[in-house]
Amino acid sequence: MLEHKRMRLFKGILAALALSTPLMAQSQPSVDWSRVQTETMQHYQALLRMDTSDPPGNESLAANYLKQVLEREGIPAQLFETEPNRANLVARLKGNGKKRPLLMMGHTDVVRVDPKKWTFPPFSATRDGGYIYGRGTIDDKDNLVASLITVLLLKRNNVPLDRDVIFLAEAGEEAATRVGIEYMVGQHFPEIDAEYCLAEGGGTTRSGGRVQFAQIQAAEKVPHTIELTAVGTSGHGSVPRMDNPVVHLAAAVAALGSWKPPIRLTETTREYFTRLTTFALPQDAARYRAVLSPDSRAASDAVDYFAEHDPSKASMLRSSLSPTLLSGGLQVNVIPSEAKATIDVRLLPVEDPAAFLDAMRKVVNDPLVKVEYTGQNIRPDGRPARVDTEVFHAIESAVVRNYDTTTIPSMSTGATDMAYLRAKGIQCYGIGSATDLEDVAKGFAAHSDQERLLESELHRFVRFNWDLVLDLARAK
């Protein structure tokens, strides 16, 4: 009886609140999802059929298309271009300014193709057996179309916003950031300045046809290029010399190649491995637990295991180096006076570059071999995004709602455009559609010779993106 009265009182209060604060009581905008699916597929295929291989890019094909789609619905969109045919597009829906903006990004360029290797032509956007095939299907025209649809739906439903929602379709992500994110951050930053950004780099993993977990990219390693230069005295090949630079260089490369820099955890990777332990198979979970004590013998054994069987996890646990280029010598009978090697170095975000260089010099331990950063391919050292922000919590609930699975924050071993935004203090998170783990071995992954995405997963990702952005930006 008492319980019953309390319940009535509670319901009464709720009703009063709803009347007094109409904005809070807004129901979910109604969306006709079957119509949206038709529209999603139409834009997705149109974008996939544009050859935006980078180089040369020609991203203006996509930027102009998006501009016309947005403007048809009264959404102002602007193009920013520093080189011909390489436009970036920015569209903005205004909010009431209560919160700082949210930026959604998708890149319009794709990596190049070798058409001979493709069963379906790479720019045909062929639909077959529930999949869509084509270059860019999962990198990154899925994020691009999800952002586009979200902006269109916000506008059509006249959703009142607490913050501006900005859509950036950027050029040059794959091979020429100077025309894309670097240019936008350097020359037009106020157009894209935001509190949070959502971009590529994450995604949900399926295996055996079932969703396993959602990975949200919250950090990335920082790429550096290091050059080794060995010097010696040139001479006749018939008279071996102690200072032959080829010999000294080879020893230095071998020493660095077998060096194991210290295992270190970051806030992101600690959370990543901790959450993995909760649903991994027992033998895997034991290794994930082991690396949580990075100085232990068990951690070093686990990382050795990863290095052989799951190398990207090994790379997440230490700053890494891969020797990739070697040069030296003119002809067989001439001892050269110089030989060089180039090392692709990926530092953990917690690593001090100067200290790491010193450590490398100690490993090389040879006065005839110089070890230096070249200053090439430098991306800014972006601070990892936090996992206790409102965005991360919103991502987790949108993941549960759409994928009914666990969210784990991850650190990319490769670099993304988010580095430039993180360096400006924007909290960035990488999201993406669900793909099958088995597709990697079958050759259907991003950058492979037959990229593909399940149609059902494209549509699910669009809804995920919509739920997430609505949660973060709708006036409350």
Of 319 and 412, nearer to Zn ion (C-beta) is 412
- Write out the two tokens for 164: 């501006």
Torsions phi, psi for 6 (to 5 deg): -55, -45
Q: Is 261 in contact with 317 (CB distance < 8 Å)? A: no
Question: Among the candidate windows 11-19, 46-54, 137-145, 326-334, which touches Zn ion by CB under 5 A?
Answer: 137-145
What x-and-dash track marks residues 85-124 binding Zn ion by CB under 5 A? ----------------------------------------
Residue 263 or 418 with smaller CB distance to Zn ion:
418
Reading the block at residue 166, the tokens are 């900005």
Which of 178, 150, 177, 191 lies closest to 36 in space, CA to CA?
150
CA distance 465 to 442: 28
Amino acid at position 133, single letter: Y
Minimum Å distance from CB 315 to Zn ion? 18
Ordered strands of the 320-328 beta sheet: 320-328, 338-347, 222-231, 369-373
Nearer to Zn ion, 39 or 139 (CB): 139
Q: Which residues pair with 196 in a beta bridge?
A: 102, 427
Q: Closer to Zn ion at the Cβ: 269 or 416?
A: 416
Looking at the Cβ atoms of 139 and 164, the one nearer to Zn ion is 139
Stretch that binds Zn ion, among 8-16, 134-142, 327-335, 429-437 (CB under 5 A): 134-142
| Cβ closest to Zn ion, residue 200 vs residue 271 | 200
Nearest one of 226, 257, 217, 446 to 349, comparing CA atoms: 217
β partners of residue 104: 167, 198
Paired tokens of 76: 């102002």
The minimum distance between CB 142 and Zn ion, in angstroms, equals 10
Q: Which is nearer to Zn ion, 164 or 200 (CB)?
A: 200
Q: Does residue 439 interact with Zn ion by CB under 5 A?
A: no
Binding to Zn ion by residue 139, rule CB under 5 A?
yes
Q: Kindly state the smallest distance separating residue 382's Cβ from Zn ion, in Å.
A: 16
Shortest Å, Cβ 217 to Zn ion: 11
For Zn ion, give the closer residue by CB, 105 or 426: 105
142 binds Zn ion (CB under 5 A): no
- State the nearest-atom distance from the C-beta of 200 to Zn ion, in Å: 5
# residues contacting Zn ion (CB under 5 A): 3
Q: How far is the CB of 220 from Zn ion (least distance, A)?
A: 12
- Nearest 5 degrees, angle CA 83-CA 65-CA 455? 120
Nearest approach, Cβ of 234 to Zn ion (angstroms)? Answer: 45
Q: How far is CA 209 from the centre of its chain?
A: 24
Alpha-carbon gap, residue 450 to 135, rounded angstroms: 7
39, 140, 164, 351: residue in contact with Zn ion (rule CB under 5 A) = 140
Summarize the chain as % helix, strand, coil (round to 5): 40, 20, 40
**What token pair was written down for 26?**
């807004």
Tell me, residue by residue from 193 to 232, as one string, x for binding to Zn ion by CB under 5 A and - for no binding: -------x--------------------------------
Distance CA 136, CA 149 (A): 17
Question: What is the C-alpha R_g of the chain?
Answer: 26
CB of 38 to Zn ion, least distance (A): 26
Q: Among all chains, which residue has been given the structure tokens 């959404």?
A: 75
Pick the closer one to Zn ion by CB: 287 or 422: 422
Report in angstroms how near the CB of residue 264 gets to Zn ion at its nearest. Answer: 27
Query: Under the rule (CB under 5 A), what is the footprint of Zn ion?
Result: 139-140, 200
